[in-house]
Amino acid sequence: MRNSCDILIKYDELTFLDYFKKALGNLGFEPLFMDIFFDEFHRPKDDLEYDEEYLMELLSKKIKPQSIMIKNSVYAEGEPYYWLRISLRNDDEFITTLGKNYLFEWSNRDLNFIIDNGFLKEILNSSPFIYCFCFDSADAYQYRDISHDKKERDKQRKSDYSRYTSVRDCGFVAAAEMWFSELYNPVFDILYFNKFKYADFGECAGQTICHIKLFDLYADPSLPENRAKQKAYWNLLITHNVFENYEKNNEIDFDEWVRIKCKRKKSKG
């Protein structure tokens, strides 16, 4: 069994380090190694010995790594492998309609370490979060989009209801439990969930919050009744053309992307 929790949070320079420190206090494993990815112009640093002081120093700088992965071990087939990855999406020239944000991704045997101690509730109630997914990642990632052909991807989305897919850094999955704030509206107006039978609404810090529970987190997602609930959720997104609209609103001019990257490379030396 492997479960994941993804929390996408609106980036704020003043609060980012506070939430990062809180995440470090709720890893669910002993941190021994870390991977650091800066950008396309620097070689990734993999399997470094974990050094919290070094991480805090890096993240205190104006130019931060694009992603950091903290883990309990170097990956080895069949061995316990748990991790937390932090991905920063705050590049001024490649911002989506979700704005600057960062993603926490936990991958572990279970998620009790952030659920039972109230950490998940705390971060959902206090942070400017955009969405949160808790799901069986072993199930979701076996159906992850791998086709580069749009027609084939669309076909997959209409048949593999547990799949995790990503569009311009925004994740989509029919997770066991999900939370959405109003900050998710550029992707999908959460009020459209109002008639979805598995959704309920609340308010926190002046924001409307939508909570969706398809089934218990540790239930078998492959059970027919659970697949039917995932299908209902997935079909709601398809009915409202969520993927197509988000892709259209966040198209990348590839030539411009290459031009900016080359310009940066020259400026770096």
- What would the pLDDT profile of 7-59 be if each residue is shown by its tens digit? 999 999 889 999 999 999 999 999 999 999 988 778 899 999 999 999 999 99
What's the total number of domains in the chain? 1
Domain of 17? 3-267
pLDDT digits (tens, 9 = 90+) for 149-178: 666 666 655 567 888 888 888 999 999 999
Place of tokens 């991977």: 35
Handedness of CA 184, 186, 192, 196 (dihedral sign): negative
Task: Give the pLDDT score at 255.
Answer: 65
For 127, the 3-state DSSP assignment is: coil
Q: Are 165 and 192 contacting, i.e. CB atoms less than 8 angstroms apart?
A: no
Amino acid in position 2: R
Backbone φ and ψ for 23, nearest 5 degrees, come out as: -65, -40
Residue 73 above 90 pLDDT?
A: yes
* pTM above threshold 0.75: yes
Structure confidence by residue, pLDDT tens digits, 99-151 = 999 999 999 999 999 998 888 888 888 889 999 999 999 898 765 555 556 66
Rounded Cα–Cα distance for residues 203 and 173 (Å) = 23
Whether the per-residue pLDDT at 266 is higher than 70: the answer is no
Spatial distance between the Cα atoms of 203 and 211, rounded to a whole number of angstroms: 11
- Placement of tokens 């620097």 in the chain: 42
Question: 104 is written with which tokens?
Answer: 């926490």
Residues 40 and 82: their CA atoms lie apart, in Å, by 26
* Region for residue 172 given its phi and psi (left: phi exceeds 0; alpha: psi -120 to 50; beta: otherwise): beta
Cβ contact 131:180 at 8 Å:
yes
Question: Comparing 168 with 97, which gets the higher pLDDT?
Answer: 97
In the predicted structure, residue 64 carries a pLDDT above the cut 60: yes
Whole-number Cα distances in Å, 189 to 52, 124, 193: 38, 19, 8
